[in-house]
């Protein structure tokens, strides 16, 4: 852990996307907790609730709410809980993505209309839906919204397929949201992380090859870990990033500069 002191004392952070202790969202949550922030968590589905509750308890969080981001009613319910319990919000960590397994292998050209819609809805549109409800709670406090993306948004990474298209939409959404929310001093940024072995990553065919290639091709000759993402997530919420918005920051050992 890299955040020290009580940099986030009195701050309230909503964390979407913890599935287990390997989740990138969890790494960011731990950094914010370390800095003194109060945390609220969401989980998707009963199976994950069993994983998320103990993690939330370990950082003294008492707000743990179900939220499938494909369902507007669940997003509204989440924010009504936040409104009631906190009445305000400083940070949102949006660390959610999904595509059907069959769309994360083989030829992109075969992606079905439904598979395309699902990936874009859950992985990109959900950022807008959440930001819209976060905005009034962040008003007058500034605020930071952070999402997670990957280099497959910019260049072709075999098997990443429709998720690359969803991440491109996500990164563009970050820019448009930053423009909309900027006058209220609410910042919106994306972290483009190098590959890390998580539950979501396991859904991508040949992920191990991706990981091995990343190690070999990066200028630093090493892959990253969840803690690296945690540190950048905390930085984007903290005072050092107070004039940084609408951007994608890389934590990938330099992979994105390579031809
Ligand atoms: P993860 O599996 O731990 O997290 C993904 C989360 O998305 C899970 O908590 C899952 O419950 C949630 N989710 C999926 N569909 C949902 C829905 N309909 N409603 C609500 N939540 C839903 O894996 P992770 O690697 O920590 O992924 C987090 C984010 O980081 C994703 O956006 C992913 O694309 C991004 N990312 C991951 C890597 C990597 O290599 N692991 C690299 C770059 C970016």
pTM of the model: 0.97
- Give the model confidence (pLDDT) of 139-151 as tens digits: 999 999 999 999 9
Q: Is residue 18 within 8 Å of residue 226, measured between CB atoms? A: no
Return the pLDDT at 1. Answer: 61
Query: What are the pLDDT digits (tens) for 8-55?
Result: 999 999 999 999 999 999 999 999 999 999 999 999 999 999 999 999
Per-residue pLDDT averaged across 149-162, rounded? 96
Q: Which ligand 1 atom minimizes the distance to the CA of 18?
A: 9
Please state, in angstroms and rounded to a whole number, the distance separating the CA atoms of residues 20 and 12: 21
pLDDT tens, position by position, 72-104? 999 999 999 999 999 999 999 999 999 999 999
Percentage, residues of the chain above pLDDT 90: 90
Question: Given ligand 1 and candidates 95, 192, 193, which is best to mutate, with the most ligand atoms within 8 Å of its CB?
Answer: 95
State the pLDDT at residue 142.
92
Q: What residue ranges do the domains of the chain occupy?
A: 12-253
CATH superfamily, region 12-253: NAD(P)-binding Rossmann-like Domain (3.40.50.720)
In this structure, are residues 82 and 143 in contact, taking their beta carbons and an 8 Å threshold? Answer: no
Dihedral, CA of residue 72, residue 32, residue 200 and residue 164, to nearest 10: 80
How far does residue 193's CA lie from ligand 1's centre (Å)?
A: 12
Atom of ligand 1 nearest to the CA of 194: 42
**pLDDT reported for residue 204:** 80
Residue 129 Cα to ligand 1 middle (Å): 17
Q: Using 50, 70 and 90 to split pLDDT, how confident is the model at 210?
A: confident
Tens digits of residue pLDDT in 104-152: 999 999 999 999 999 999 999 999 999 999 999 999 999 999 999 999 9
């Amino acid at each position: 852990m890299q955040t020290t002191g009580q940099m986030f004392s009195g701050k309230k952070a909503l964390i979407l996307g913890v599935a287990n202790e390997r989740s990138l969202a969890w790494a960011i949550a731990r950094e914010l907790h370390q800095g003194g922030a109060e945390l609220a968590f969401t989980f998707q589905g009963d199976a994950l609730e069993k994983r998320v509750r103990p993690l939330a308890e370990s950082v003294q969080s008492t707000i743990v709410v179900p939220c499938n981001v494909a369902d507007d009613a669940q997003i509204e319910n989440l924010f009504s809980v936040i409104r009631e319990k906190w009445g305000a919000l400083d940070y949102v960590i949006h660390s959610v993505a999904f595509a059907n397994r069959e769309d994360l292998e083989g030829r992109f050209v075969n992606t079905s209309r439904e598979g395309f819609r699902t990936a874009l809805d859950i992985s990109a549109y959900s950022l807008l839906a959440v930001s819209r409800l976060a905005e009034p709670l962040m008003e007058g406090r500034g605020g930071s919204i952070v999402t997670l993306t990957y280099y497959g948004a910019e260049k072709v990474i075999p098997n990443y397929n429709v998720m690359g298209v969803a991440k491109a939409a996500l990164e563009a959404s970050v820019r448009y949201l930053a423009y909309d929310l900027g006058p209220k001093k609410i910042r919106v940024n994306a972290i483009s992380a190098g590959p890390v072995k998580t539950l979501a990553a396991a859904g991508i065919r040949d992920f191990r090859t991706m990981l091995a290639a990343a190690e070999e091709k990066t200028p630093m000759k090493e892959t990253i870990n969840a803690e690296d993402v945690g540190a950048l997530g905390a930085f984007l919420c903290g005072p050092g990033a107070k004039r940084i918005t609408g951007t994608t920051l890389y934590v990938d050992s330099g992979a994105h500069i390579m031809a």
